[in-house]
Structure 1
Amino acid sequence: MHQVIASPQGDKFIIARPGTRKGMQIPRAMHHELSSAVANGRDVPGWLVNAGREAWGLELSGQPARGNVLVRPVTPLNYSRATWEINKGCNFNCEHCYLAERAFEGLPRDEKDRLLSMLRDAGVLWLQFTGGEPTIDRDFPHSYRQAFILGMLVEILTNGSRLHRPEIIELLSAMPPHKVTVSLYGASPESFDSLTRKPGAFKLLTKGLKAAKEANVPLELALIVTKHNAHEVQAMREIADEYATTYTEYANISPTYDGNPQPLAAQAPGFLDKSSVFKGCPAGHTFFHVDPHGFATMCKVGRENPIGLMTEGLDGLLRLPAIADAQMLRSGGCSGCQLSATCRVCRPLAKAYQEAKAPLNTYCQHDNGDETA
């Protein structure tokens, strides 16, 4: 099994190691040298031996390049990231969920394999498994292994409810993820189970965090602040400090991506994030999203004009940048806004809020309450 990955990224070339966040940039000539060493059965070059020892404490001296170094070729599409909704099904029923539906369905296993190969061939190095809850998909372990073997750095976005299972821990220990991001919905059974609408959910989450920590699985926590847990924010931070390498707080609740306002009821009054000014996004240009049936869109929210990868193949992605650019145009309730230069909400998300007829104070982050904002 490969120890490091050499991959093009845009106009650069990098060396990455699964399970770690530290990497290095190399010139094109070194990438070519590694490719030649693998193809011709030579040992790992001395410069990578030294760099691997310094960066990761990895000993590659005298080791063959083939089997230790996975060299990814330059690809015409040159995407770097993708998110994959392997399945929209979930074992929680969260009040704030942005999905329009949570049907348990998706591609058969052989088509999942074909999709993963296409993602690799599109240049994707960082792949996020999401859902729904990805770990409940019957093909999740197989698909995770396939993505790892194909040379992708895998992130899992999960509710943590199955992290305690031996088969999951063993998989993540044998094939380390780039990271596992766990959503934290409260600091007590009362708040957590209330938001997820699943009795025992907090107990499952706690078991998962403990098991992952014991197995040295790299965890990040996403602290989801809602009306159910706003009084527990400090306690949520303490949980994150105990189990995670880092955490991020999210308080902005959105409608479903097709404009259903129901999730907005979970918004905690007074907890609207003041994020940075929105200055554009490379969605559809350097990364994209894929749904359970293999349809690619610019991102999880901007799902207009989906591209059927399973029928069109990678050529379909050639149309994605133009589709993404069209969705980024300010229109509807945002057209003519005099405050657009300091807006903090991306256009596809603003459209979902507007279709949901959401009050401005649930998403528009201008303090003056101007109804033209």
Structure 2
Amino acid sequence: MNKLKQNPVFSALLALFILLFIGGIVYFFMLQEEVDKQKKAVKSAESQLNAALSLQPAPTQANLDAAKANVEALTKALEARVDSTYGNKPDMLKVEAPTNGTQMLFQLRAYSNEFAQVAKRTIPVEFTDEQIEKKKAAGEPIPSTSIPENFAFGFSRYIDSGKPPADSDVAIINQQKEILTYILRKLFNTRPKGIVSISRAPVEVTSLMEAPQQTGNRRTPNTASDGMKKDEFRIGVETAAVEGAVETLPFKIVFTGYTENLRSFLKQIEEFEVPLVVRAVEVVPLESSVSSTASTTKTDQQDIFSLFGGVPEKEETEESAEPEREPIVAENVSEFTVVLEYISVDLTKDEASSNQAMLDGEEAY
């Protein structure tokens, strides 16, 4: 201590170095804490980058450019499709219609007979080729899509009565027939279990073309007093029709089958070969196509062999293995109701652009 007092300069320097050393240690730990934070941030950024690069497609600049080009191409295709709807009709509707009601009635009968035969030839989707071959080998009847007896496919008003439509209605009825022909072909492509009903909008009854009565925000449904047949209906407020600009023809298709049938049918409609828009879809599950068995004691009715007149199952012994069980969960057969509208734009493109400009001007005002 005396030496420190005798050398004040040395003592001051020593004290300064000690303070600097302590300050350096403190600063080191402060920097170390900051480094740890930066390391965690880098690891987080790396994990986010790896996650982004693992996406398919990865959000690289090349993929972004490709996506942008795809969007531009789809936009142009959509614009071309919209332009083609102005005042135009699909090729199938450009076919010349019959000249009178009698010819139209003959065509409706031919249309009904054609699809009745198609139904007989259509095997429901639940049957595999192997099952069909076994049925053929056993001499059993081949299953087909079921339809109601004397089914008119939407035109019972004429086919059942044998009364031809008025000459003034022939053009629109022919158009409905051609559209239903397209719809039914797409439906039979899905191999449904059965067709329950095919309905169209009536064009023959004057009272049906008038505006329906309204109660609040709902429209009063049609009744038998309206003169409608069982396969005629009128669409409600969900219609896309616009007076003087857009005309529509609604159709209602009710069929039974599986989700696969509905999905395939809607996918075909969405191809937009014909300007058809799905307005409503309703699904009502029916009985399960595969029943479950949980009991180990079988009666004649529970035994699948007894149900089909086969050889009864042998009695089980105490040493027999646990009986096999059928699947408990199976997809249900459902009834699907699909409401479609055929859309026809009466305006030309120039008229539509003019109307849109007027609307834009009113909004600006």
Q: TM-score, normalised by structure 1?
A: 0.23
Higher helix share: 2
**Which has the higher relative contact order, 1 or 2, with Cα contacts under 8 A spaced 6 or more apart?**
2
Q: TM-score, normalised by structure 2?
A: 0.23
Point out the structure with max Rg over C-alpha.
Answer: 2
